[in-house]
Structure 1
């Protein structure tokens, strides 16, 4: 990792969902996020060339994906849905958060093996303690309606003005009591990342 990419902390949060007001599930759904908080090397100035950071962050993306997968039991085959996002501290700009697309998204897809869907994403500029709602959808078919979901990520002391918080999200299932129709996971047929 580049000396310019200084990590202050990582945070892992895993939920075990047993029901959502309906019948208790036979197998709880695990749903979690892992975030990394690092110094923004571009804070306080406009930098036309950001691409070195995208490359330098690849090991960080893999580390975050591995920690999240381990927190969800370690079996890539059990992961059904995913998402990603970032919050840039106030001394940075929105484009700095976009550096996570390759480093986080590709790392997660590579770790999971077959993962055909684009990884949905949310990026914003915000203060310490800002909430990041990470969008989630099915890893192989973005139109699987039962897996349209999200998870809220908050690190109370991050990002500081000169930092960026990057996060990944994964789940072992869709919404606990999905029943609003649409493409079902069992009916994925196109294997094109959408249907």
Structure 2
């Protein structure tokens, strides 16, 4: 099996403020989506994991594409998340194929980030959108990074396709005032704190 890509979509939001004072630098929130053929659409297949192996180098390439879209400096990235939208001819388990290739790719390219990459997946029709959860790359308990980005591709997924999604940010929410662990206090030892 090979990864057959129909299209990519990359978005970058540049957030200047949320009604309060502007931060020293705008917050960048980006996503990259790839619409690919789902080789399992329309049938039940017991063994899915060989395709996960095919997706690993693809995950690295997608993660690098998103880092580049956000300015090219992996050290500037502090938040991430991933998601999959499965076309109606597939099953939810096909979306789980993206867990390892998408998550480990970002963790590797961001300097062996410690925190688990939050994830969501669903089966959806053409034009479906999904909220991609976002957390800090090294400490899941950084409340200021708890967020989400809604992502969708207008003409995908078709019934026999998957939309694979990665999201990265250059910081937490602007004007975060909810307390808890601060990004500057992260120890990065266990992925939690």
TM-score (norm 1): 0.97
Query: In 1, are the aligned partners of 2:136 and 2:142 still within 8 Å (CA)?
Result: yes
Matched residue SS, 1:58 = helix
Deviations along 1:96-155, one digit per CA (max 9) or x if unpaired, are 000001111111111111300000000100011111110000000000000001111111
Distance 2:125 2:84 in 1: 12
- Which of these residues, 132, 150, 153, is aligned with residue 152 of structure 1? 150
Matched residue SS, 1:57 = helix
Deviations along 1:55-114, one digit per CA (max 9) or x if unpaired, are 001121111101100000011110011000000000000000000011111111111113
Note the residue ranges of structure 1 that are not aligned, 5 or more in a row.
Answer: none
2:95 alignment counterpart? 97
Instruction: State the number of aligned residues.
Output: 193
Q: Are the structure 2 counterparts of residues 190 and 74 from structure 1 closer, same or farther at C-alpha, using a change threshold of 3 Å? A: closer
Matched residue SS, 1:32 = strand
Matched residue SS, 1:14 = strand
4+ runs deviating over 4 angstroms: none
Q: Please list, as runs of the form range in 1=range in 2, the aligned pairs for 1:53-64 lying within 5 A after superposition.
A: 53-64=51-62
- Which of these residues, 29, 32, 39, is aligned with residue 31 of structure 1? 29
Note the residue ranges of structure 2 that are not aligned, 5 or more in a row.
Answer: none
2:129 aligned with 1:126? no
Distance 1:176 1:49 in 2: 44
Query: In 1, are the aligned partners of 2:41 and 2:161 still within 8 Å (CA)?
Result: yes
Quote the RMSD (CA, aligned, Å).
0.9
1:51 alignment counterpart? 49
Q: Please list, as runs of the form range in 1=range in 2, the aligned pairs for 1:6-45 lying within 5 A after superposition.
A: 6-45=4-43
Distance 1:168 1:60 in 2: 12
2:185 aligned with 1:187? yes
